[in-house]
């Protein structure tokens, strides 16, 4: 029996379980030449999926109603009529929320279970790690000795950004929302300094103190007032990597911030938004570095693993309650 | 007698005549080996000078109190003990607001009065033209068929940006502050469309109508609410060239705008502040194109010429009232 999760209705505000529908199907799946039969092993749930559940105009089409949702998935090849893969291989790719499915192999990458836990290929060796690596290197263009500030620093992407920053010789300052998280940044992830935005009255001054030479790179996962405070501390030719804006995602009115333009002009600074798929051409380079650093224990990560296909929607919804630590994945 | 204009006090908000002081001096100027005696012919007044009158941290040191202000100047060589120049030459460079002064020749360029009017070397063949060309080509990276929006479009830089945009095969939309200016954009400068922000109620809708395929490049001279309206219309991979923010230069409080970060992320868009001197390496290429286009009548320009050294501060202050059409220069 094959289970599928489809989008039943577009969430209004916070998603609820009634927005999802479980389907079951007894049909036999048989593959044609060039195809693969896949069995899902791990499913990645990520905040960005919320955007695709809405039908607002965007560069990616929204999920269709009554069609399977898809996200990053690790699957086992049960059967192959495609020369690039054989039965027993594990692959990662954007796949449907189904227990079993057929693929042409397009967009799938083989993953090596002997080199890292399979779930890592959805996190530090998957989209999370690639997002951190590509944003920091391709937009941030770090030079050893520079200062990097990371917001959402204890999150899945932020914690990897900070660690890569240290590997590349930067002074790294993380901004997070609790003393426990700030402690984690310094002890587990090797950040030079951390700032708890919930207990810091003057963020501009706190950043200035933590970054006595000013801020050369800002890797932004949150937007809002935290980012405003960073602008007062940027250096000439600063690069601002705009990865996420979670602090304003739930606003119902267009949020206001300081006018960034005068800061950009005064400092000849660059600000660039991105999604990881813009940088597919450097994924091989990124994967090589990430897997080497992981093997050398220069990178570490946390993940929250939820058990059971039926729990995918709950795991997804828990992201918005902050119930995850690091990367959230669902194991079959 | 030599006249000098010094910065008497740092303006708070809008500059006023009391921020400037006129000095007179009867001393004879005598030059040493390697030096030149210069007589000022034209003085350029530009919005960016407002920034240098404040003592906020910036990439360039602020003007010093009770010292001469300086800006782009065309001067005649009265006397030369420098082999590179001879009496009768005209030169351009960053020089003091003085009727006569001594220079070592450093940073001065000879200009050819037979090829273009002298004032043009402060405008379309000077910093204005270079600012337009470098910002549009190096940050805007235009591709034929794309849509360019220019704010401050009837200004010195904006009107050149739009014309270069047309030469490069773009659809060009200009935003300006009067019907007369909008008419000028379309008739004199060849813009495809113009929007009067002073009479347009819904700027977002007006830009959408003028740019049915969305906005690929935004060359921003003004910042503020006009720029906010542009953000709602940008395309994926849009480039926002942040050249000036005249709408907020005289603000005494930190101005607020929409949060641009979600727009940058959703569109993988780039926003970059710059000053023309970042691009010195392409000045030769830029000058070649600008002078060729000017000779071929593909570029035209307007200038507002104010008479008299004593009127330099007034001409500068008039910039913030939009009293200039095109480049504002003061003729001795």
- Reported as a single tens digit per residue, the pLDDT across A160-171 is 999 999 999 999
Determine, for residues A270 and B271 on separate chains, whether the beta-carbon distance falls below 8 Å: yes
A196 touches A178 (CB < 8 A) = yes
From the list B26, B94, B33, the residue with the least C-alpha distance to B60 is: B94
Residue A42 has pLDDT above 60, yes or no: yes
**Using CA atoms, how far apart are residues A222 and B268, in angstroms rounded to an integer?**
16
Nearest CA in chain B to A57: B266
ipTM exceeds 0.85 = yes
Determine, for residues B257 and A262 on separate chains, whether the beta-carbon distance falls below 8 Å: no
Determine, for residues A268 and B275 on separate chains, whether the beta-carbon distance falls below 8 Å: yes
Determine, for residues A257 and B258 on separate chains, whether the beta-carbon distance falls below 8 Å: yes
- Reported as a single tens digit per residue, the pLDDT across A96-146 is 999 999 999 998 989 999 889 999 999 999 999 999 999 999 999 999 999
- Reported as a single tens digit per residue, the pLDDT across B169-187 is 999 999 999 999 999 999 9
In the beta sheet, which residues pair with residue B37? B79, B102
Residue B278 has pLDDT above 60, yes or no: yes
Shortest Cα distance from A58 to chain B (angstroms)? 7
- Number of helices followed by number of strands (H, E) in chain A: 9, 16
From the list B126, B116, B191, the residue with the least C-alpha distance to B157 is: B126
Shortest Cα distance from A115 to chain B (angstroms)? 33
Question: How many Cα atoms sit within 13 Å of A24 on the Cβ side?
Answer: 4
From the list A7, A18, A5, the residue with the least C-alpha distance to A101 is: A5
Nearest CA in chain B to A223: B261
B195 touches B175 (CB < 8 A) = yes
In this structure, are strands B270-273 and B303-307 parallel, antiparallel, or unpaired?
unpaired
From the list B279, B329, B282, the residue with the least C-alpha distance to B303 is: B329
A218 touches A241 (CB < 8 A) = yes
Count contacts between A and B (CB, < 8 Å): 123
The single residue listed with the structure tokens 């980012």 is: A227
From the list A180, A260, A276, A202, the residue with the least C-alpha distance to A228 is: A260
Band (A57; pLDDT cuts 50, 70, 90): low
**Using CA atoms, how far apart are residues B314 and B321, in angstroms rounded to an integer?**
11
Shortest Cα distance from B262 to chain A (angstroms)? 6
Which chain A residues are within 8 Å of B265, Cβ to Cβ? 242-245, 273-275
Q: Domains of chain A by range and CATH?
A: 2-122+303-331 (3.90.180.10), 128-277 (3.40.50.720)
Q: Produce one character per residue of B100-139: b if its CB has 16 or more CB atoms within 10 Å, e if not.
A: bbebebeebeebeeeebebbbbbbbbbbbbbbbbbbbbbb
Nearest CA in chain A to B220: A261
Residue A178 corresponds to which tokens in the numbers above?
């609790």
**Count of CB atoms situated within 10 Å of the CB of A131:** 26
Residue A60 has pLDDT above 80, yes or no: no
In this structure, are strands A193-196 and A109-111 parallel, antiparallel, or unpaired?
unpaired
Q: What is the rounded average pLDDT of the residues B247-267?
A: 85
**Using CA atoms, how far apart are residues A11 and B321, in angstroms rounded to an integer?**
49
Q: What is the pLDDT of residue A326?
A: 81
**Count of CB atoms situated within 10 Å of the CB of B270:** 21
Band (A252; pLDDT cuts 50, 70, 90): low
Which chain B residues are within 8 Å of A278, Cβ to Cβ? 268
From the list B198, B279, B202, the residue with the least C-alpha distance to B233 is: B202
Determine, for residues A256 and B256 on separate chains, whether the beta-carbon distance falls below 8 Å: yes
């Amino acid at each position: 029996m094959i289970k599928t999760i489809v989008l039943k209705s577009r969430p209004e505000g916070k998603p609820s379980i009634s927005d999802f529908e479980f389907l079951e199907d007894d049909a036999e799946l048989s593959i044609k030449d060039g195809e693969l039969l896949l069995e899902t092993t791990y499913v990645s749930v990520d905040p960005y999926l919320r955007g695709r559940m809405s039908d607002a105009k965007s560069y990616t089409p929204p999920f269709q109603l009554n069609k399977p949702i898809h996200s990053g998935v690790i699957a086992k090849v049960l059967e192959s009529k495609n020369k690039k893969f054989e039965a027993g291989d594990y692959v990662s790719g954007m796949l449907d929320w189904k227990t079993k499915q057929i693929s042409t192999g397009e967009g799938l990458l083989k993953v090596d279970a002997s080199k890292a836990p399979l779930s890592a290929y959805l996190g530090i060796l998957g989209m999370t790690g690639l997002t951190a690596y590509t944003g920091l290197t391709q937009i941030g263009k770090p030079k050893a000795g520079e200062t990097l500030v990371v917001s959402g620093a204890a999150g899945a992407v932020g914690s990897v950004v900070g660690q890569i920053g240290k590997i590349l010789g930067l002074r790294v300052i993380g901004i997070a929302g609790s003393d426990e998280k700030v402690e984690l940044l310094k002890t587990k992830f090797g950040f030079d300094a951390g700032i708890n935005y919930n207990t810091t009255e003057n963020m501009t001054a706190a950043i200035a103190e933590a970054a006595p030479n000013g801020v050369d790179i800002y890797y932004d996962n949150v937007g809002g007032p935290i980012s405003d405070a960073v602008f007062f501390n940027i250096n000439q030719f600063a690069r601002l990597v705009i990865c996420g804006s979670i602090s304003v995602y739930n606003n119902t009115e267009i949020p206001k911030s300081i006018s960034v333009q005068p800061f950009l002009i005064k400092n000849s600074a660059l600000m660039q938004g991105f999604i990881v798929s813009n940088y597919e051409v450097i994924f091989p380079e990124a994967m090589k570095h990430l897997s080497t650093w992981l093997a050398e224990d220069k990178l570490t990560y946390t993940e929250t693993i939820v058990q059971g296909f039926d729990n995918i929607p709950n795991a997804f919804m828990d992201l918005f309650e902050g119930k995850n630590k690091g990367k959230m994945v669902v194991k079959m």
